[in-house]
Structure 1
Amino acid sequence: MAAMQSWRKAYGALKDTTTVSLANLNSDFKDLDVAIVKATNHVECPPKERHLRKIVAATSIARPRADIAYCIHALSRRLAKTRNWIVALKTLVVIHRLLRDGDPTFREELLNFAQRGRILQLSNFKDDSSPIAWDCSAWVRTYGMFLEERLECFKILKYDVEAERLSKQGQGPEKGHSRTRELDSQDLLEQLPALQQLLYRLVGCRVIISSLYAKTSRRSCKYNYLVQYALALVLKESFKIYCAINDGIINLVDKFFEMPRHEALTALEIYRRAGQQAGSLSDFYEIAGV
């Protein structure tokens, strides 16, 4: 087993070197191609910040839309071709970081790209090279579904919950509120289910440990540093998502007795699901060690 793992690492390093060499032949986007390959290589550690900075710069609003579209195409190609869970997970991390820290034009172009094909569709992804690879493959698939849902939620809300600044209500030290606190009934009944579905996908990112080896080994998916890094990004998203849902529920209760019957029934279902998700999120935090 150890010899096989050493061979796979050597083979992965060789593939990375070859891909970087080929990227250097691309005269138009070689710096971006090299940064993407190095940020998503076979080394079992998070993408290095210097490579991420180059990718973020290449997708800024100052760059032509064609450059941003090329970056998305390159990331999509990287994700589609790999059968290695490390490369797949690091590519998803890069996309997630660009959604969180990059320019909004990247998200807009990603949405345009997604209309032609689902870039993050990883339902059939599988790396069965080892027990830990098998377990991490399951987490890669659920992480991909969360990022897909993140884009779907943005299409409905027309704003990014994570990038939202909480607004202060009046004076004093009390915490700010999400914009869901001020929505009218129609927008509220449209946006809250989208936010709840996003939270459902987020909670689905709980670490999956399926094999007997993983359950008894410190080298399981749960203890993997690369998985923990990606999981930390997901956990950061949970706070504002839950805050937006919670503020929306408060708003919903205030408006409930003024709603027509069909809207009131929808509101009751939203309220019921909110109660269930509060418990699921608490369990998720416990599993994640928060």
Structure 2
Amino acid sequence: MTMAGQTINDRLLAARHSLAGQGLAKSVCKATTEECIGPKKKHLDYLVHCTNEPNVSIPHLANLLIERSQNANWVVVYKSLITTHHLMAYGNERFMQYLASSNSTFNLSSFLDKGTVQDGGMGVPGGRMGYDMSPFIRRYAKYLNEKSLSYRAMAFDFCKVKRGKEEGSLRSMNAEKLLKTLPVLQAQLDALLEFDCQSNDLSNGVINMSFMLLFRDLIRLFACYNDGIINLLEKYFDMNKKHARDALDLYKKFLVRMDRVGEFLKVAENVGIDKGDIPDLTKAPSSLLDALEQHLATLEGRKVSAANTPTQSSSSAFGTAAASSKFDTTNGIDEQLKAQVLAEEEAAMNQYKSKVSSPTSSGAAGASAALTNPFLSSPPAAQAGQPIVDLFGAASAQPAAAAAATKASDDLLQLGNPFADMFDASGGGAAAAGATGNAGDGTAKYDGGAGSSPFDWGATDDDGGAAQ
């Protein structure tokens, strides 16, 4: 075999088909020559045109390609798979329907081209190429078989369905059908990702063309996959226990596949594909998964392990509440869960407030705690009879006027002014009352962030704990 130009075998086979009047067979032969380049565009365009002609036998065309895939030469086999994939993507749907309905598949699970190694060896350029390309041929054939099986199961091609929020097929699918559809889509996506090539493997025009077709399918498959997951999450809080368990499992598998898709896209970027054609994958916040697991645990009657500290507990609670827009609904289970989260937060804050407002120390230690703790609205009783210390060395002023000038906005988090408390005058009860500021309960108000949506994939996970 020569690595450049058509071989004698190619020319003889084409002449034989011409003499026999087999124009379709000749076109297939031209598209799948032994020349180590991808199938030529003019031959692929002609075969696509043939799939739209009513007088062309689709079974005959498909069988010709399958027959060429049984050749011993890896280039012929690989190019027959590429031609088949191209017709699946751009040809008439009759071609896809035949492959899905017939038992004719690519039986290449054990394909291995040893001929080039035996003939050329390591010393000849391209002598080992057939041996190196054989694993990719086996994986590519497996993906095309899985693509046909997906069409057989769903009666549509995932790469050709409508996508998007308004008219997306998987975006508007009901929950029961969606739970049956997503595993089929995941199986096809897994078969594609198993191609698993690196940048240095794309060393010739044949594998490069197959990689471009796989990249095209991956972008469409993942867009469809993403629509299905968004629809699944929107319906998650209305599902029964069995469906919710299946949906959570599907979402966890989706997160794993996001990482694998990212690796595939990195290879695509390294080989020169325009960055504008490569989507930017942004993961959902981790609090979304926590909310889904907590809801399933509630349905199953399990207790969710609480955090050890009040701070961690409150962060987890508000992160969970902010992650789900379903907490705004009137669903009985969701409202119960929301009330439980709020009760845990209130209990944690009350416990923390009791610790800081009732120090156990007394005497000198209590006096020190009172002077340095801004959460104490008044000094301890042991300090009431002691003289006031002038911290700033200034002449005695009117404490009542100084205290009255203090505004609530000047107090940190409206918790009281510790310096105003220290300069409490013995006879200025009214002034002292004005100096304490707003020390009602010593707590800061938090915004749960319930308005955030778990489906804004590009948004970051807000803390949701801003003080007012």
| Offset, 1:138 | 0.7
| Offset, 1:9 | 4.7
Give me the whole-angstrom Cα distance separating, in 2, the residues matched to 1:61 and 1:263. 45
Give me the whole-angstrom Cα distance separating, in 2, the residues matched to 1:191 and 1:197. 10
| Offset, 1:10 | 8.9
Which of 34, 39, 47 does residue 31 from structure 2 map onto? 39
Asked whether the equivalents of residues 163 and 223 of structure 2 are also in contact (C-alpha less than 8 Å), the reply is no
Aligned to 2:52: 60
2:60 counterpart of 1:70: yes
Asked whether the equivalents of residues 157 and 191 of structure 1 are also in contact (C-alpha less than 8 Å), the reply is yes
| Offset, 1:53 | 2.3
**Cα gap change, 1:10 to 1:96, in 2 (>3 Å):** closer
Asked whether the equivalents of residues 40 and 91 of structure 1 are also in contact (C-alpha less than 8 Å), the reply is yes
Moved more, 48-57 or 247-256: 48-57
Number of aligned positions between the proteins: 259
Asked whether the equivalents of residues 154 and 181 of structure 2 are also in contact (C-alpha less than 8 Å), the reply is yes
**Unpaired runs of 5+ in structure 1?**
1-6, 170-176, 210-219
Aligned to 1:16: 10
**Unpaired runs of 5+ in structure 2?**
117-126, 274-468
Q: Which has the larger radius of gyration?
A: 2
Aligned to 2:19: 25
Aligned to 2:149: 152
Larger RCO: 1 or 2 (CA < 8 Å, sep 6+)? 1
Asked whether the equivalents of residues 32 and 39 of structure 2 are also in contact (C-alpha less than 8 Å), the reply is yes
Amino acid aligned to 2:109: S
Asked whether the equivalents of residues 139 and 208 of structure 1 are also in contact (C-alpha less than 8 Å), the reply is no
- Cα shift readout 1:141-185 (whole Å, capped 9, x = no counterpart): 11111111111111222211222233563xxxxxxx631111111
Which of 258, 276, 280 does residue 238 from structure 2 map onto? 258
Among the aligned pairs, what percent are the same residue? 25
Aligned to 1:137: 134
Aligned to 1:165: 162
Aligned to 1:111: 100
**Cα gap change, 1:61 to 1:12, in 2 (>3 Å):** closer
Q: CA RMSD in A?
A: 2.1
Which of 48, 51, 76 does residue 43 from structure 2 map onto? 51
Residue aligned with 1:136, SS:
helix
Aligned to 1:93: 82
- Cα shift readout 1:19-48 (whole Å, capped 9, x = no counterpart): 112212333xx1111111010000111111
Asked whether the equivalents of residues 59 and 98 of structure 2 are also in contact (C-alpha less than 8 Å), the reply is yes
Asked whether the equivalents of residues 4 and 36 of structure 2 are also in contact (C-alpha less than 8 Å), the reply is no
Give me the whole-angstrom Cα distance separating, in 1, the residues matched to 2:5 and 2:220. 41
Give me the whole-angstrom Cα distance separating, in 1, the residues matched to 2:263 and 2:208. 17
Give me the whole-angstrom Cα distance separating, in 2, the residues matched to 1:84 and 1:184. 47
TM-score (norm 2): 0.52
Q: Pick the structure with more helix per residue.
A: 1
